[in-house]
Amino acid sequence: MEIAVPPPKPSAAGPDRKGRRNPLDCLIVALDLPSADAAMDLADQLQGTCRWLKVGMELYYAAGSPVIERLRERGFQVFLDLKLHDIPNTVAGAVRSVAGAGASLLTLHAAGGAAMMRAAAEAASVPGAPRLLAVTVLTSMDGPQLAAVGVPDPPETQVLRLARLAAAAGIDGLICSAEEVAAVRQAMGPDALLVVPGIRPATDGPAATDDQRRIATPGEAIARGASMLVVGRPITQAADPGAAAAAILDQIRLS
């Protein structure tokens, strides 16, 4: 049964003449960096080849909400990836605390349960609050690792279970790997906002997987139904981050 998920707000660019999204609206570069200065330097190198930047726990804990404002002043949209996971009252309070920081997207763990996600969704219902994305199963985990923490089902089964739970709780979108995104797209419908991390360019070999387990190329992920892709080290550790981002945009454009 298809479960309706609230559609994402339209991007500033909108679709092209063939109805496809602008590749700039599909790429999120992960600023997994230890300081605001490092993040600003990298952001400057990405001007023109990136519209979305991800601020994760490492950067946010080092620099706080002001880093979001600085990135917004440079014209970027911010995806705040805090993966909130606690009792409902605490998570709702955290959502309220960052609601005015200027981020457009904010993550929480679907494994926190329906009550937690409903509390977060209510806290995010105020004007200017970010859209909420529920993390299903981390891309660093595979079947054996899930089993080790008491989940006997394969990743796809667990991802779909948590995706349905999040949709029913009023969460705006989902984080899943490229291995499950086709099944999630089929279950959630064409308007669901599905964000896929664990992306590795087609030119990278097996050694470039780092600590990720469930990965795909940009073209594969988009073809399977991803709305947006999160790319970190293949861009941020490249000799020319802007050129690396442009190459990934080309792969998205050709998908």
CB 28 within 8 A of CB 52: yes
d(CA 13, CA 192) in angstroms, rounded, equals: 19
How far apart, in Å, do the first and last CA atoms of the chain sit?
28
Question: How buried is residue 150: exposed, middle or buried, by Cβ count under 10 Å (0-12/13-18/19+)?
Answer: exposed
CA–CA separation, 229 and 195 (whole Å): 6
CA dist 183 and 157 (Å) reads 10
Q: Are strands 105-109 and 77-84 parallel, antiparallel or unpaired?
A: parallel
CA-CA-CA-CA dihedral for 24, 124, 178, 109, to nearest 10? 140
SS3 33: coil
Q: What are phi and psi of 157, to 5 degrees?
A: -65, -45
- In the annotation, is 18 catalytic? no
Nearest to 218 by CA among 233, 231, 232: 231
Contact 235, 253 (CB under 8 A): no
Catalytic, out of 9, 18, 54, 83: 83
Neighbours of 32 (CB within 10 A): 17
HSE-up (13 A, CA, CB side) for residue 85: 11
Q: Which residues are catalytic?
A: 83
